[in-house]
Amino acid sequence: MRRTALLASAALLTTLLPLTAAAPAVGAADPDPVPVDRFEGEVPFASQPAEGLFTWGGDTDDPPALRLTARDDAPEGGKVLTGTYDISGYGGFTHDYAADGPAHDWSAHRGVRLWWEGRGTGEKIAFELKDGGAHGEASELWTTSFTDDFTGWKQLEFPFSDFTYRTDYQPVGGIDQVLGLTEMWGYALTLPTGLKSDFAMDAVELYGTADQARRASVTTGAAVYPVAEGGTADVDITVATTGAAALDEPVTVTYETAATGGAEPGKDYTPVTGTLTFPAGTPSGTARTVEVPTLKDRSAESAETIPLKLTVTGARAPAETPQVVVDAHGLPYLDTRLPVRKRVADLVSRLSLEEKAGQMTQAERGALTAPGDIAAYDLGSLLSGGGSTPTPNTAEAWAKMIDGFQLRARATRYQIPLIYGVDAVHGHNNLVGATIMPHNIGIGATRDPELAGRTGAVTAAEVRATGVPWDFAPCLCVTRDERWGRSYEAFGEDPALVEAMETVVQGLQGHADGRDLDRADKVLATAKHFVGDGGTAYGSSTTGTYTVDQGVTKVTRQELEAVHLAPYDDAVRRGVGTVMPSYSSLDLIGDGRGPVKMHARADMLNGVLKDRMGFEGFVISDWQAIDQLPGDYASDVRTSVNAGLDMIMVPYAYRDFRTTLVDEVKAGRVGERRVDDAVSRILTQKFRLGLFEQPYADTSGADRIGSAAHRAVAREAAAASQVLLKNAGGLLPLRKNQKVYVAGSNADDIGNQSGGWTITWQGRSGDITPGTTVLEAMRESTPDLTWSKDASAPLTGHDVGVVVVGETPYAEGVGDVGNGHDLELSDADKAAVDTVCGAMKCVVLVVSGRPQLIGDRLGDIDALVASWLPGTEGDGVADVLYGRRPFTGQLPVTWPKSQAQLPINVGDTAYDPQFPYGWGLTTGSKTPHGGAATLQALRVAATALERTGAESAARALVTKARLIVQARADGHLTARVAKPFAEADHLLLTGRYGAAVGKLTEAYRAA
């Protein structure tokens, strides 16, 4: 799924902003203004983490050009800030304070003002403040605007009371949605689009004195107070001030229960009214309680709300009216003794069309216009896109955030809990400090289904401990072209290997019948992306500059069944709870339809997945994917729902989707039975997850997030994923007494070795989360190590060099070859390899999401390791380098000689790779002896074991045969060797052990 920050166009932004352009009005008692920016050169042009002015924009042409210009007419000092711009998308500039310095306190002032030289363009210009958060790029955004409808210099004042919270875009999704002013990180201006112009501004400063109503606020402990019928709700009312100062003046809060909710006064509750007074001198944080008693009437009822109206004098009132909610009770769907199907049927029968449509709607948590929208639109689900995290990004903050969302759902009639989803594709990868597993490509290299299941179990435990019950994983794509930016999300190029690794589904969910889903260490899994996303042709992408991702998969019916559909059939048998269709299009040869987006293919979603395979879970769309369907929005909605989608991921358009779906049903273009089926599927999983009984986070397992036990599983997986491609002279394993020279871009970079989908959608280089780099792990293994990233340190006197090279992080189509990426090592990595391998015996580790082209350097490399993306546990890599564990990994994809060979896969008629699918040397034991006669005997024995069902023993014989062949073919692989060798591994995975040894015998003879 595409998981970006919530970018929005400047055009949308300015339509949301109020106009403020007031003349200066300094009262006699006002203090002197406090400069923010004088533009005399005291603030440099720089960016995070340093303090400075920097520009930004939607593309390379959009950022404005800034300079400090000496002007005789400067309103203050001798210089002003000037700039030119010609913006097509969005663009502007920012003054951020230094991230490594303290935030600034603006709470004592009335507002901020600046001088602007008007051009009389009539255009709106957005002015934005950065409040709270870790630094300027992780802060809340509050905005206002002014209109350039004057000429010459004019001082513009912006009272803090005029700023509104940005609902269209927040870089971290919001912090507390309160303009506190005590932790300010700077300001920004968004310039007009579609206009080639220039500007000048000067003297940004704070002015005036804040009144108490600006500095004091009244809050309630929550916006929603659920209470059992007959119980008493305790509504906490707290007064607080910026800077935690005592009140200067008294604050009064008059309260009364309003009869505008669903509850009836005198029948469902006892009305209350009164006034609370917080005298001058009251300490900040003082709380009082208002009690709202409810009454029992002994009848079964849906939930009923009691608004508590608050009138505040002397401080800001709460942003929302708190609601007491009398819990639903006595209805069959709440009876845990009933079977799930009966509970579902009862609840569906009670829901209105609008409530059903809400259950089919999923929004991004950071895109909620207001938290109250959860109840207002009866939302069924929220998600965190990649990098959409609470602040701070801790397990405790995740649980608190999700509990807050679940609390909002209690204000709906039937109190249906949300189902919250995340992309935990290699561990709980959005959470700093979580255990990050190898990406799927590395898990496929382990050839260890049991270990794959354990990695899924660790992921599930860490995800559920933060309150998240749903994981958008695993990807069951069969990657057929390594130019695809999602290659590392696949277990491999062979559907048989993908099926073997689907034990991760049981690791995530538990038993196939769903009995374990309500456990505190299990989550609902998602098989994605149905179907054929790994088969899209190079150059067929329909999205932006992507070349492969979201393209067209053109296949025969036979190839579709054998390659792309097979893993989903297995996942359905394993009881996978949800399925996500692909962005890509399917062009099924012979059906006469041409390319059709998977989100519109009813024949695949309804016909194959639900009817033929018997899938009983629900289908969730990909991120904004229905927007890619042809036609208007109403057409997108009805086409996707009628095609079999049950829940639609509409990160920003949740209100429009719900309204449109209701309209389409009322118009008869979407059937009510289709809606009831979708809602029944969704509710079934919510009941199985135990969310009706326990909607809130069970954090009892939170102390195991990133624990030694969990990291031990990741370390084992990292070690098992390492594939030894070449080992001339038995250079590996290394010895502890060797003097080692380490170089390369990926030796000491936790971000690079974790890859994309780590903390943020695209991931990034650097120290982004706790873990152990390869270099750090090697230091623990050898006392004599020299580290030089660029291999510039002296080379003499070393026994062996280890050069760790490869890719930097990317995700999805951003990583497509031809979209700013290729399969070549960087120039710096090539230089490091050449330098070190030219001076000593060397080991090259390739840390990447897909094969990299080694080319003519292979002859100069003594040992070559495909390290894939091992995650946070570099110790696992060091374990095999130093022989604590043997190399056992095998190639999950074919390693090509050149990009011209792509796509290249096991089973191809023409097959002449650098290393074949299934290749992997070992250091764990001596190579078995024997020749053709030995292989013939192994084939006979493997065939006999196959017939008796002794699969483990048969696999061991195939492995013995493979090692014999590798020993003979190592160093002189040819097409005649590679083709049967790769095909043997496919036969092994499909349980044809005798035939596998037969193919290996063919490879042996060719070698």
Catalytic residues: 622, 812
Q: How far apart are CA 535 and CA 582, in angstroms?
A: 11
C-alpha radius of gyration, the chain, whole number: 31
Residue type present at position 477: C
199 CB-near residues (< 8 Å, 6+ apart): 82, 83, 85, 116, 117, 119, 191
Q: For 130, left (φ over 0), alpha (ψ -120 to 50), or beta?
A: beta
Token pair, residue 627, equals 């927007």
Q: How far apart are CA 412 and CA 263, in angstroms?
A: 13
Residue among 486, 482, 488, 522 at smallest CA distance from 504: 522
Q: How far apart are CA 309 and CA 324, in angstroms?
A: 11
Q: How far apart are CA 639 and CA 644, in angstroms?
A: 9
Q: How far apart are CA 168 and CA 143, in angstroms?
A: 11
Burial class (CB in 10 A: 0-12, 13-18, 19+), 249: middle
Token pair, residue 690, equals 């135990």
Q: How far apart are CA 493 and CA 495, in angstroms?
A: 7
Look up tokens 């989608």; give the residue: 645
Token pair, residue 860, equals 């100069």
Q: Is 461 helix (H, G, I), strand (E, B) or coil?
A: helix
Q: How many residues are given for the chain?
A: 1007
Burial class (CB in 10 A: 0-12, 13-18, 19+), 320: middle
Q: Report the relative pairing of strands 648-649 and 618-619 from DSSP bridges.
A: unpaired
Cis peptide before 529 (omega within 30 of 0): yes
Which residues on neighbouring strands pair with residue 801, listed in sequence order?
741, 842
- 288-292: long-range contacts (C-beta < 8 A, 24 or more apart)? 288/236, 288/237, 288/238, 288/253, 289/234, 289/235, 289/236, 289/237, 290/234, 290/235, 290/237, 290/255, 291/232, 291/233, 291/234, 291/235, 292/225, 292/227, 292/232, 292/233, 292/235, 292/257, 292/324
Furthest-apart CA atoms within the chain: distance in Å:
104
Q: How far apart are CA 202 and CA 113, in angstroms?
A: 10
DSSP conformational letter for 46: -
Helices (H), 578-629: 602
Cα 226 to the chain's mean position, in Å?
32
- Positive or negative torsion for Cα 976, 982, 988, 990: negative
DSSP conformational letter for 987: H
Q: Can you give the three-state secondary structure of 933-972, one letter per residue?
A: HHHHHHHHHHHHHHHHCCHHHHHHHHHHHHHHHHHHHCCC
DSSP conformational letter for 533: G
Residue among 452, 410, 414, 142 at smallest CA distance from 302: 414
Q: How far apart are CA 453 and CA 917, in angstroms?
A: 23
Cis peptide before 892 (omega within 30 of 0): no
Let me know the angle formed at the C-alpha of 423 by 10 and 683, rounded to the nearest 5 degrees.
Answer: 100
Q: Report the relative pairing of strands 470-471 and 381-384 from DSSP bridges.
A: unpaired
Token pair, residue 811, equals 């995700």
Cis peptide before 733 (omega within 30 of 0): yes
DSSP conformational letter for 82: E
Q: How far apart are CA 835 and CA 306, in angstroms?
A: 74
| Secondary-structure breakdown of the chain: helix, strand, coil percentages, each rounded to the nearest 5 | 30, 25, 45
Indicate the helix (H) or strand (E) that contains 785.
strand 785-787
